[in-house]
Amino acid sequence: MDMPYHDTFYHGCFYHIFNRSINNEVVFRSKRNYLFFLGRWEKYIGELLEVYAYCLLPTHFHFFARVPESFAKLEKFRKAIADFPDVNTLLENQFMLLFRSYALAFNKENKRKGSLFQKSFKRIRVDTEKYFTAVIHYIHNNPIHHHYRDSYEKWPFSSYNAFLSNSPTKVRREDVLDWFGSKSAFIEFHAENITYDKISQFLADV
């Protein structure tokens, strides 16, 4: 049986993935920290998950992602896939490597020791159309909700601006914009400022 907020990873399924720091310690203290974490994500997670939205904040992060139908063509992760043929075990191991790698670099920079993130990261399977739409807004709204910024586009460490741009991105931009119907519909939906009360049934507090 899955633990609360610890749904099993399966091929072809969508997940809201999130975690926070231990004792709410600030683990992203500079732009370099944010970019380094995203680089570590690419190294250890990369195409093992297709990212539809994300947001990094000083003490926690959110990703909305899908496990591909198959890992057969992912040469970069061939050894990891061979070592962990079960998709859930593979992804749990890769997240462990991600957190460990980031913590080692962060600790060296800040002369500290020990873990940074809670060991058991959370993931909730997204299996309804309402949840799909709600979680994208929820993730992009986090910097506003936590009073870091007063608008989506002012927070540089989320995927929101990737949907407004034509620049290359690893985020599944076309899939998301097609889901909303258009770029203007995507912007309009976010501009409605949907309150958490209306979507709380789909979300979990980190």
The CATH number covering residue 26 comes to 3.30.70.1290
Q: State pLDDT tens for residues 85-109.
A: 999 999 999 999 999 999 999 999 9
Give the total number of structural domains in the chain: 1
pLDDT of 52 above 80:
yes
Q: Is residue 8 part of a domain?
A: no
CA-CA-CA-CA dihedral for 50, 53, 57, 60, to nearest 10:
-50
Please tell me the predicted confidence (pLDDT) of residue 196. Answer: 62
Is the whole-model pTM more than 0.85? yes
User: Is 159 in contact with 53 (CB distance < 8 Å)?
Assistant: yes
Q: Is residue 25 part of a domain?
A: yes
